[in-house]
């Protein structure tokens, strides 16, 4: 679970950030503060993985918090969510290693894009000991929005995922079971479960439990809204 601290002086925007994060699996809000001073106090006892940071706040500019985080070499990533559009602020944020920079007012899709990119980078950094040049290029270029495809978890193959997705997409939103997918694709149930778990993690599938005629639980899967957009980066050539 990726722990997030929200640093935002506008209560409405802070609540929007919390609400949006609740829609993206893998994230947990561990705190919300309204000033740089409160954030620094929070960081004395708890270090989240990620900070969603505003710039225009009372007393101190949000960029000063980013500077402190870098000077003290805290292992914390930062995404700026701010109305600041001046080149100086943007340049300083990039110089100090901000993962992303989202300009207010923003739409959920832009927010979600940033969070999914961050989650993918976090997964790769946690799971891999080394990266090839190709894998590193994908990671860096995807972060910058230059390429569309991303790295699949170990044990998953793009061609197999493409075949699985072709079947799921052909259902046109209808429910299906693991066994139906096994029969359609022709690989083992254990392997299919890995792909289904992955598709749930990237917010493509929703699952629910149903009971068959003999009372045994059966997991039912169904595509979520806009699922095609979420899976495409993983199956593009």
Please indicate, yes or no, whether residues 8 and 116 belong to a single structural domain of this protein: yes
φ, ψ at 14 (rounded to 5°): -60, -45
Please indicate, yes or no, whether residues 86 and 191 belong to a single structural domain of this protein: no
62, part of any domain: yes
Please indicate, yes or no, whether residues 33 and 119 belong to a single structural domain of this protein: yes
- Residue 165's domain comprises 158-235
The 3-state secondary structure of 64-104 reads: HHHHHHHHCCCCCEEEEEECCCCHHHHHHHHHCCCCEEEEC
pTM of the model: 0.60
Please indicate, yes or no, whether residues 19 and 105 belong to a single structural domain of this protein: yes
The CATH number linked to 177 is 1.10.10.10
Q: 176 with 220: CB under 8 angstroms? A: yes
59, part of any domain: yes
Please indicate, yes or no, whether residues 8 and 122 belong to a single structural domain of this protein: yes
Please indicate, yes or no, whether residues 117 and 171 belong to a single structural domain of this protein: no
Please indicate, yes or no, whether residues 105 and 37 belong to a single structural domain of this protein: yes
Provide the Cα torsion 153, 159, 164, 169; round to 10°: 110
Structural domain count of the chain: 2
pLDDT at 78: 96
pLDDT at 151: 67
Please indicate, yes or no, whether residues 33 and 104 belong to a single structural domain of this protein: yes
- The two tokens of residue 228 are 């095609």
> Which segments of 23-61 does DSSP mark as H helices, in order?
36-45
144, part of any domain: no
Please indicate, yes or no, whether residues 59 and 175 belong to a single structural domain of this protein: no
162, part of any domain: yes
The CATH number linked to 119 is 3.40.50.2300
94, part of any domain: yes
pLDDT at 149: 44
pLDDT at 198: 87
| Last residue of one domain, picked from the residues 81, 107, 126 | 126
Please indicate, yes or no, whether residues 10 and 121 belong to a single structural domain of this protein: yes
pLDDT at 146: 39
| Last residue of one domain, picked from the residues 106, 126, 146 | 126
Please indicate, yes or no, whether residues 175 and 95 belong to a single structural domain of this protein: no
Provide the Cα torsion 194, 118, 169, 155; round to 10°: -30
Helix (H) or strand (E) holding 31: strand 27-33
Please indicate, yes or no, whether residues 117 and 183 belong to a single structural domain of this protein: no
| CA distances to 164, 177, 188, 197 from 183, in Å | 11, 10, 9, 18
25, part of any domain: yes
Residue-wise pLDDT for 107-122, tens only, equals 898 899 899 889 988 8
30, part of any domain: yes
89, part of any domain: yes
Regions of the chain short of the pLDDT cut 50: 146-149
């Amino acid at each position: 679970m990726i722990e997030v601290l929200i640093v935002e002086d506008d209560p409405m925007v802070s609540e929007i950030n919390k609400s949006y994060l609740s829609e993206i699996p893998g994230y947990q809000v561990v705190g919300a503060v309204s000033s740089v001073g409160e954030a620094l106090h929070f960081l004395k006892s708890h270090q989240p993985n990620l900070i969603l940071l505003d710039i225009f706040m009372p007393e101190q500019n949000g960029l000063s918090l980013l500077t402190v985080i870098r000077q003290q070499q805290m292992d914390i990533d930062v995404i700026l969510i701010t109305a600041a559009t001046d080149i100086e602020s943007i340049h300083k944020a990039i110089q100090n290693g901000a993962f992303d920079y989202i300009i207010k007012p923003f739409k959920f899709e832009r927010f979600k894009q940033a969070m999914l990119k961050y989650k993918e980078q976090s997964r790769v950094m946690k799971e891999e000991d080394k990266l090839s040049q190709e894998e590193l290029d994908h990671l860096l270029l995807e972060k910058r929005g230059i390429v569309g495809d991303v790295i699949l978890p170990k044990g998953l193959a793009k061609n197999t995922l493409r075949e699985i997705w072709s079947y799921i997409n052909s259902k046109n939103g209808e429910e299906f079971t693991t066994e139906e997918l096994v029969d359609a694709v022709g690989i083992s149930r254990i392997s299919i479960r890995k792909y289904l778990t992955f598709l749930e993690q990237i917010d493509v599938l929703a699952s629910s439990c149903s009971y068959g005629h003999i009372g045994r639980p059966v997991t039912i899967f169904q595509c979520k809204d806009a699922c095609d957009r979420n899976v495409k980066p993983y199956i593009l050539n």
